Structure 1
Amino acid sequence: MNSLQRFYQWIANSPPLFKLQPPFTTVEDIQSSPLAESESYDGNPRLGFLYQHLCTKLLTSSPRYELIAEEIQLNGQNGRTIGAIDLILKNLETDEHEHWEVAIKFYLLHQGIWYGPNAHDQLHKKLDRMLSHQLKMSQRDEFHQRLPLEQPPSEHLLMQGRLYINPFSTEETPSECLGFELDPSQISGYWCYQSQWEQISEPLYPLSKPLWAIGNNEYLEPIDKPSAKFVHTQTKSGQFWFVVPDTWPNNH
């Protein structure tokens, strides 16, 4: 199984970061066809684009959904960009339209805040934007002009990824974000500062960004202690680790 197929299977079988309550959704209950071995991807190499591509493949290979539109760019009257809607699907079981936003994110807990490795990205900010802006775009007049539907589509947020805690810190792990309950099974990664490197008991193997979700299936050379920016790694036992500079999250 190649890495594209492994990522597709990971999406199909992994719980979201949040426990299920509207608008949070999962794809674990969707019957979809396996990804063909011949499947290739030559789009934007960023992880979020690859993730959205595979989510679209998974949803539209199921008998439940028909793809109506994807990446709908909305602009205001003054030409200002409002944003892009990920997916509009028709649920063939209910005969209703659904607006899906999909995101894969990795966050590290520090002083009560879940930060991305790039610390400008924070879970509470991302979630607020998804709920208050991204999902609401399908209710706007600009959307209705582009794609007239009898009823506004229902809102569905698929947010997968992994949450990381520092095992060398006594910090309490929050159980929710913005009042939405986190799925504790997805708080499964570790992170530490470069100065805590010696406390890690296993060798760490580097992960390229397309492998952040699924991890390695072959291990070459373990990394030496990093001295520059953050690194994302995995042990042979399967534990995921971020190692970040001692100045993180400031100036990162």
Structure 2
Amino acid sequence: MTQETIQATMISTLINGQIDNWDNLLWSVGSIDIPASEASVAGTNAATLLPWLPPSRRTRLLEYFSCADVREELSPELEIYLHKLNLNKPNNRLGTYFERLWSFVFSKHPDYELLHQNLPLRKDGKTTLGELDFVVRYLPSNHCEHWEIAVKFYLQVTDKYWVGPGLKDRLDIKLARMADHQLPLIEIPTVKSLLENHGLNIDRQWALMPGRLFKPLDTSRQIPNHLFWWVSLSGFRSFIESRAKHNTLGWLALPKQAWLAPQGKIAGMTAERLLETLLSSNFTHPLCIAAISRSGEASRGFIVPDDWYQNAKQRLGK
């Protein structure tokens, strides 16, 4: 049984968060990049080298898609677009879903013309040198732009290192790869020739990486000490039992496509039901959850297996 199947089976027994494709689109265009949310990450060499999309460009995108008239007109189109893509090319990866949202954005925003998506670069038609996420024309200045985009979620293991919940990804490595490989790719002479064959002259490049960074939960507190946190299953049990008299929050299990936009005012399950389900299941993979107050999402976290932290440190060689 694959990790995806195990996770889906467990989540199916819980009360799930809602997946709103339009809200996810707004979150995708409006969220800040990960390094901007954490000073220790923003100051790393790779983060400072990357050409992050200017805030003014992000604001213009968000303002357009936030208009009520635009939402009324385009929201049904987005649903049809995603449905057709999923029928033709089924894919449950969050990164693919994120790219499809951006493909729709580039196709519908009046400032952009989508030229290529996932453009493969092959030497002699065989050897793959790389791939460009998006090539678009920015119409206000008539510039041809290469965009590398990613959506990422990392848990803090040490002061320096942030690791993906599945232990297969690391923030510093991802930033370095974007800075050292993915963006400089277009400067390779062979790639320049391939781009010329496509009639492309890249004028500038942008990096985009929204997401969230989750810090360890202080289980001695009555409320989460961070808006985004992670905790072991045993730690979550201690946290919930220590504040039993104050358990007014509802809890939602979040499928991957609900990891993006905040949840609204949804009736969640009790902490006791969530805890009971996890303790009685074969809990081997991290679970993303949202705490819901009367006004909507109050905080979000990952519950991880008790051996997750040790496994993460072993991956780091700590």
Could you say which TM-score interval applies, normalised by the shorter chain? 0.7 to 0.9
8 Å contact 1:191–1:244 — kept in the other structure?
yes
**1:102 counterpart residue number:** 149
Compared CA separation, residues 249 and 167, structure 1 to 2 (3 A)? closer
**1:136 counterpart residue number:** 184
* Partner-residue secondary structure (3-state), 2:102: helix
**1:13 counterpart residue number:** 30
Alignment match of 1:224 (pick from 275, 284, 308) = 275
Quick check: which has more Rg, 1 or 2? Answer: 2
| C-alpha displacement of 1:114 | 0.8
Give the letter for the 1:71 counterpart.
N
**1:119 counterpart residue number:** 167
* Partner-residue secondary structure (3-state), 1:190: strand
Compared CA separation, residues 107 and 189, structure 1 to 2 (3 A)? same
Tell me the TM-score normalised to structure 1 length. Answer: 0.82
Matches of 1:139 and 1:152, distance apart in 2: 10
**1:157 counterpart residue number:** 207
- Choose between structure 1 and 2: higher helix proportion: 2
Unaligned ranges ≥5, structure 1: 171-186
Tell me the TM-score normalised to structure 2 length. Answer: 0.66
* Partner-residue secondary structure (3-state), 1:235: strand
Compared CA separation, residues 189 and 56, structure 1 to 2 (3 A)? same
Post-superposition CA distance 1:199-229 (Å, at most 9, x none): 1454532101110112444345452253322
Post-superposition CA distance 1:110-157 (Å, at most 9, x none): 112111101230100011111111112222334333332574331201
| C-alpha displacement of 1:6 | 1.4
**1:199 counterpart residue number:** 239
Give the letter for the 1:28 counterpart.
T
| C-alpha displacement of 1:37 | 2.2
* Partner-residue secondary structure (3-state), 1:210: helix
Give the letter for the 1:246 counterpart.
D
Unaligned ranges ≥5, structure 2: 1-17, 37-41, 43-47, 221-225, 244-248, 313-318
Compared CA separation, residues 18 and 59, structure 1 to 2 (3 A)? farther
Q: How many pairs are equivalent?
A: 236
Matches of 1:78 and 1:55, distance apart in 2: 28
Matches of 1:29 and 1:61, distance apart in 2: 13
| Residue 120 of structure 2 is aligned to residue 73 of structure 1 | yes
Compared CA separation, residues 220 and 118, structure 1 to 2 (3 A)? same
CA RMSD of aligned residues (A): 2.8
Give the letter for the 2:162 counterpart.
W
**1:236 counterpart residue number:** 292
- Choose between structure 1 and 2: higher strand proportion: 1
8 Å contact 2:19–2:258 — kept in the other structure?
no
**2:108 counterpart residue number:** 61
Alignment match of 1:4 (pick from 21, 25, 30) = 21
Give the letter for the 2:155 counterpart.
L
* Partner-residue secondary structure (3-state), 1:229: coil
Matches of 1:50 and 1:5, distance apart in 2: 12
Instruction: Report percent identity of matched pairs.
Output: 25
| C-alpha displacement of 1:38 | 4.2
